[in-house]
């Protein structure tokens, strides 16, 4: 009750401040940095026609866009488009959402963004794995999307739709922020089968269906896809002894090994070294350059097994099996793994801070994928993982497994 009374007063105060603040202060308050501020539990309101919302939920497996307004901190993007999103995480009860601010209004942005992802935590009963994972990638120097927690409200009656994560889309804005130039070639990996960087032949189509272009889509298939085919050919053709010489000009190999060290530290079973093959990453190539860089995505399935060996599936992937056979690259991977493990105390503290931030809103979420008791248990599992995983990794690094 006290929070309900304070809400309108806080909104009035914020509106008055926005009217009187300097332009630079207004810009800071309504910036993408503020939207992804992880120290704040945000409130986002999707204004959408009740019939459209029910239709979106009824047809949640489809990608149909519906008009909506998006409101945050008194700022509103009008006539945006939103749709259901996700693969295994799609839900009628609690839809994951993709919002495109320029879907109906050309070149419209909201706090400098053209799009925004709202993750529904459908595969993450703790509601913390995704953001903790991205923070750890960032801590280890890997370009990863920013995320923050939000209570989502929907419809004219401002009904509470549950706890969500605000996720920075991997698009030109993200690329410009991370790499200084967002005009290059971006590809989203689309899982088709148990693929692990095997040679797919000379035809471009098998590569095109797996590495979907997200920029420059109207350029020729040869321009878009032949660099991917050439990269895979370099991976498959290279002997282990000359792997870095052959592959590094086309793929930032050490950056990839660092990302994989983080993924295996996090016991990720659905990533680049996933149990079902490659999954959940982007590749980006700056304009005028041949070398691609990897970007992690969708980390709901981390923190899965506290005792998972930190070289899980390394030898099942064509690229990493060869890298593992090169003493220098193997030592580099293990060093990055050790550096990641040293972040355990920080990770535990961050998990505790996030739990305190979202606890009340998560319990109030009546459409979450698990019961409140299961949420509490999952959150404790994450905390235990953060507390104990580093020691387990260090024991692996000094044990017999390493010498086999």
d(CA 106, CA 114): 10
**What is the mean predicted confidence (pLDDT) over 366-371?**
98
Tokens 């905390």 label which residue? 383
Q: What is the pLDDT of residue 87?
A: 86
- Contact indicator for 382, 305 with CB cutoff of 8 Å: no
| Closest of 334, 253, 237 to residue 291, by C-alpha | 253
Structure letter (DSSP) for residue 38:
T
Structure tokens at 146: 């920013």
Report the percentage of the chain scoring pLDDT > 70: 92
Residue 326's alpha-carbon distances to 241, 248, 313, in angstroms, are: 7, 14, 16
pTM for the whole structure: 0.91
Q: What is the pLDDT of residue 12?
A: 38
Backbone φ and ψ of 237, nearest 5°: -80, -25
Q: How many other CB atoms sit within 10 Å of the CB of residue 72?
A: 19
d(CA 211, CA 228): 8
Torsion sign (Cα): 215, 220, 221, 227: negative
**What is the mean predicted confidence (pLDDT) over 55-61?**
97
d(CA 261, CA 274): 13
44 beta partners: 72, 152
Q: What is the pLDDT of residue 27?
A: 53
d(CA 211, CA 195): 12
Q: What is the pLDDT of residue 328?
A: 97
Residue 18 scores a pLDDT above 60: no
pLDDT, one tens digit per residue, over 186-208 is 999 999 999 999 999 999 999 99
Q: How far apart are the first and last CA of the chain?
A: 61
Residue 332's alpha-carbon distances to 34, 278, 322, in angstroms, are: 36, 22, 14
Q: How many other CB atoms sit within 10 Å of the CB of residue 183?
A: 13
Give, in degrees to the nearest 5, the angle at Cα 361 between 160 and 74.
Answer: 55
Q: What is the pLDDT of residue 199?
A: 97
Query: Alpha helix locations (H) across 205-291?
Result: 205-208, 221-237, 243-247, 253-265
Q: How many other CB atoms sit within 10 Å of the CB of residue 167?
A: 22
Q: What is the pLDDT of residue 81?
A: 98
């Amino acid at each position: 009750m006290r929070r309900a009374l304070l809400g309108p007063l806080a909104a009035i105060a914020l509106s008055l401040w926005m009217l009187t603040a300097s332009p630079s202060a207004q810009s800071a308050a309504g910036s993408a940095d503020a939207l992804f501020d992880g120290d704040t539990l945000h409130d986002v309101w999707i204004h959408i026609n009740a019939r459209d919302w029910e239709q979106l939920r009824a047809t949640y497996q489809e990608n149909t866009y519906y008009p909506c307004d998006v409101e945050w901190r008194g700022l509103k993007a009008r006539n945006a488009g939103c749709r259901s999103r996700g693969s295994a995480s799609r839900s009628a009860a609690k839809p994951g959402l993709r919002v495109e601010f320029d879907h109906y209004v050309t070149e419209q942005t909201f706090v400098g963004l053209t799009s925004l992802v709202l993750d529904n935590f459908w595969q993450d009963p703790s509601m913390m794995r995704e953001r903790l994972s991205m923070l750890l990638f960032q801590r280890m120097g890997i370009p990863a999307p920013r995320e923050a927690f939000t209570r989502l409200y929907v419809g004219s009656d401002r009904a509470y739709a549950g706890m969500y994560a605000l996720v920075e889309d991997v698009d030109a804005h993200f690329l410009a922020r991370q790499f200084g130039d967002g005009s290059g070639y971006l590809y989203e990996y689309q899982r088709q089968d148990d693929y692990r960087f095997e040679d797919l032949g000379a035809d471009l189509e098998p590569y095109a269906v797996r590495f979907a272009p997200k920029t420059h889509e109207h350029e020729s298939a040869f321009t878009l896809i032949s660099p991917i085919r050439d990269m895979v050919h370099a991976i498959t053709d290279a002997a282990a002894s000359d792997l870095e010489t052959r592959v590094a000009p086309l793929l930032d190999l050490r950056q990839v090994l660092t990302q994989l060290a983080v993924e295996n530290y996090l016991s990720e079973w659905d990533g680049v070294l996933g149990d079902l093959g490659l999954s959940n990453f982007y590749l980006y190539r700056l304009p005028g350059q041949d070398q691609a860089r990897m970007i992690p995505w969708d980390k709901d399935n981390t923190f899965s097994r506290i005792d998972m060996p930190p070289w899980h599936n390394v030898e099942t992937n064509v690229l990493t099996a060869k890298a593992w056979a090169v003493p220098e690259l193997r030592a580099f991977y293990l060093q990055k793994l050790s550096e990641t493990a040293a972040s355990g105390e920080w990770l535990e503290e961050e998990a505790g801070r996030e739990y305190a931030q979202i606890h009340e809103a998560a319990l109030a979420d009546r459409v979450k994928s698990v019961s409140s008791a299961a949420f509490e248990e999952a959150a404790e599992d994450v905390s235990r993982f953060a507390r104990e995983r580093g020691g387990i990794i260090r024991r692996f690094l000094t044990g017999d497994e390493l010498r086999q």
